[in-house]
Amino acid sequence: MYLHVQRLINDIEADEPDPAAANALQEGLGGQFGEMRTMMQYLFQSINFRGPKGKPYRDLLQGIGTEEISHVELIGTTIARLLDGSPRYNGKKSDPLDKPGAGGATPLESALDQGNIHHYLVAAQGALPVDSAGNPWSGSYVYNSGNLVLDLLYNLMLESTGRLQKCRIYEMTANKTARSTISYLIVRDQAHENAYARALETLGVNWASVLPIPKTNAEKFPEVKKLVDLGLQSKQYTFDLTASSEAGKIFQGMSPSKDGTELDATEQAPGGVPSVIAEERYEEFSPGLDTDLLALIQATADLEMAEMQPPLYAPVPATTASKRAG
């Protein structure tokens, strides 16, 4: 069972809208080696896992799989921000409703030669479950052979390919919104590479100096370097609410990336940042409410809610939380 907290797993830096960068990031969301794929692959591998003795391996898969849902949320939100307002259409603030084509104007003209016209025509300047060439995500991507060694080997290759593609995306755009998320994912993909490589090490494999893949020197990617300096590539959160995860039995010891750091799986989750709801885009009829409907929405917003029952799961008391932050 899953629960949600209204926070993004990492902060997204502000910058100009950039639909071309948004389209490149679609590969990281809906591409064959993107976050929707890792998320679904690990969830299926957890669900179908065989061998009660292998619980630490199952828990590792489950934990990384849960993180990937938050990555889908993060990269999806980043794409939406890069697209938001990209046609630079400005309706009158005083009377914003229902003016998109006023006087025959063409506020969405720029959509015709962007990376993916569907971002404007179908998705109202939002993220799509497709790759950067417009192919819809497919269930045929999910790999789950049931054979543990093979699944680990595949996952190592999958994370490395995801990281390789994100390194290439980094080199395609200097937009800060795009780079803040891409850099974070480059580092987290390395953490996951380390996780699967380490899992194979527990079965005897020795990786010598082939990891990480690709062999990049973080110093060349400044935004990445900052995160590596914090050791984020050697940490794996459990994302587990009741401390049942045994992933830490695998994710410990020296990093297979041979960067001198030690693997650490003792944290539950990163702190994250609050998530924000995007503004309306009148030229997209999104959300497309007129005065009547807005009044009804407002009435709903003004309602009191019934008193909540006590929660099953909750933030830990402040004293504990502050200890951690410190």
Q: Residues comprising the binding site?
A: 35, 59, 68, 71, 159, 192
> Is residue 86 a contact point for a second copy (CB under 8 A)?
no
> Is residue 92 a contact point for a second copy (CB under 8 A)?
no
Q: 């995306």: which residue's tokens?
A: 169
Rounded (5°) CA angle 174-137-280: 60
- Find the binder of a second copy among 14, 50, 94, 318 (CB under 8 A): 50
Residues in binding site for Ca(2+): 59
For residues 326 and 321, give the distance between their C-alpha atoms in angstroms, rounded to a whole number.
9
- 3 burial level (CB within 10 Å; 0-12, 13-18, 19+): exposed
Q: Least distance in Å: CB of 291 to a second copy?
A: 10
> Is residue 209 a contact point for a second copy (CB under 8 A)?
yes
Rounded (5°) CA angle 145-148-150: 60
- Find the binder of a second copy among 12, 35, 36, 194 (CB under 8 A): 36
> Is residue 232 a contact point for a second copy (CB under 8 A)?
no
For residues 122 and 99, give the distance between their C-alpha atoms in angstroms, rounded to a whole number.
19
- 240 burial level (CB within 10 Å; 0-12, 13-18, 19+): middle
> Is residue 259 a contact point for a second copy (CB under 8 A)?
no
Compute the Cα dihedral for 288, 293, 295, 296 and give only its sign.
negative
- Find the binder of a second copy among 85, 118, 254, 261 (CB under 8 A): 118
> Is residue 185 a contact point for a second copy (CB under 8 A)?
no
Q: Least distance in Å: CB of 178 to a second copy?
A: 11
Which parts of 93-112 interact with a second copy (CB under 8 A)?
Answer: 97-109, 111-112
Q: How many chain residues are in contact with a second copy, going by CB under 8 A?
A: 189
Helix (H) or strand (E) holding 109, with range, is none
Q: Least distance in Å: CB of 321 to a second copy?
A: 7
